[in-house]
Amino acid sequence: MKTLQQSPTDPDFVQDPYRFYDRARAAGPFFHWQEYGLPCATSYAAVNALLRDRRLGREVPADRRKPIPDHLAPFYAVEAHSMLELEPPRHTRLRSLVLRAFTSRRINALAPEITALSHQLIDAFPAGDFDLLTHFGQRLPVIIIARLLGVPESRADDLLQWSNAMVGMYMAGRTPAAETRAIAATESFVAFLRTYITERRAHPADDLITHLIAAEESGQHLSTDELITTCILLLNAGHEATVHSLGNGVKTLLQTATPPTALAPDRIAATVEEILRHDPPLHLFTRHAYDDVEFMGHSFPKGSEIGLLLAAANRDPGAFDAPARFNPNRPEKPNLSFGAGLHFCVGAPLARLELQIALPILFQRLPHLHLTEPPRYGNLYHFHGLERLMVSPI
C-alpha cells in the first residue's frame, strides 16, 4: 500500500481535493494517508463494498477507546447516544424508533412548506450583489428542520450557530478555540432541547419531537438523552449537508451554464443526483475493523481504522464516464454521497426533497442569476462547502 502525503488543511487542497484523489486512486484501491495515519479507500468498488461490510462499523472498539478529556465531556456525552456512532443492537433499536417518527410520508408532507419558504426567501433577497448562502442556502434547511422538530423558527440563528460550532469538532486541524465553541454550543443546544422535550411530554403537538417521544417498539422508547442527541444529529448532519449541497450545486450550475431543461420536473431528480455525485458535502467517513479483514488483496488487522473517501469514489473513472465533468444527463447510477448500508443517512430523503424543490424555484425566479466573484470553499475538511456565494440576479 503506497503512502501519500497531503495536508488536509492545505489551502490548495481544500479548494480542489480532487487532484489529490486522482493521484491517490492511481496508487490502487487503497493508499496510506500519512497525515491521518489511515489506510484510505478511493475506488467506487472498494468504498461501496466497505460501507456495507458488516466486519467493519462506526463504533470504536472497546480496547481502542481513548480517555475523554474532561473539557470535552459534554460533547462526547451527546455523541454517546448517536446512532451514527453506534452498531447493533443499540443502533438497530435507535434507528428503528427514529424511522417510526421520521417517515417518508412526514418528509413528503413538507413539500408545500419548502416551496412557500423558497419563494419567501427569494422575495426578501437584497438589491444588488448578495451572498446566496446567507440569504438562501443556510436559511432554507435550518428553518425547515426547526419547523419539523417543532421548535420556534425564530431560534434559527441559534440553531445555525450551534450546528456550525459542533460540526467543527469533526474538522481537520481543529483548535482549542474551536473545541471551546463546540462545547459551549453543545451545552446550549442540550439545554434548549431538554426544555422543549419536557414541554412536549406534557403537551404533545403534531411535530417530530412529539412523534419521537411517542415512537415505540417492543415496549421500548427513546430516553430523553437519546431524544436530545437524535434531534441534534438530525439538525447537524442534515442541515450541514443540505447547505453545502445547495451552495455547491448553484455554483456548478452557474459555472457550467447548465440549461434550464435540467431543472424541469422530469429531470430535476437526476440533476440533483449529479450535483451530489460531482461535488458532495462530505468527503471522508471512517470505519473500524471488528476482525482481521482481507479485502482486495490488502490486510486490515482487527481494531484498525479505515478511511472511506466518498468524494473520490464518486469521481472514479472505473464507475463513471468522464467523472470530472458535470453531466445532468448522466446514466443513473447510485452515488455514495449519503453513504450506504446500515448507516445510510436517514436525512437523505429530506435533503433531496429540499434540493429538488428549491433549485428550480431559484432559477425560475431569477433566470439571469450569475456569479459576481469566484466562489471559494471554506477552509475546512472533511466537509466541503463554500464560505460564501456572491451573486447578482440581474
Of 375, 368, 377, 379, give the one whose Cα is nearest residue 390.
Answer: 375
Q: For 69-92, how does the pLDDT look when each residue is reduced to its tens digit (9 = 90+)?
A: 999 999 999 999 999 999 999 999
Q: For 245-270, how does the pLDDT look when each residue is reduced to its tens digit (9 = 90+)?
A: 999 999 999 999 999 999 999 999 99
Q: For 18-47, how does the pLDDT look when each residue is reduced to its tens digit (9 = 90+)?
A: 999 999 999 999 999 999 999 999 999 999
Backbone angles phi, psi at 217, to 5 degrees: -145, 125
Contacting residues for 274 by C-beta, under 8 A, at least 6 apart: 326, 327, 328, 330
For residue 28, the tally of other CB atoms under 10 A from its CB is 16
Q: How far apart are CA 98 and CA 116, in angstroms?
A: 27
Backbone angles phi, psi at 235, to 5 degrees: -75, -55
Mean pLDDT, range 315-326, rounded to an integer: 97
- For the chain, the structural domain boundaries read 3-392
Residue 143 is predicted with a pLDDT of: 93
Angle between helical axes of 156-167 and 224-255 (0-180°, round to 10): 90
Residue 168: pLDDT band (50, 70, 90) is: confident
Q: Which residues sit opposite 69 in a β-bridge?
A: none
Residue 238 is predicted with a pLDDT of: 66
Residue 184: pLDDT band (50, 70, 90) is: very high
The CATH code that applies to domain 3-392 is 1.10.630.10
Mean per-residue pLDDT over the chain, rounded: 94
Global pTM value: 0.94
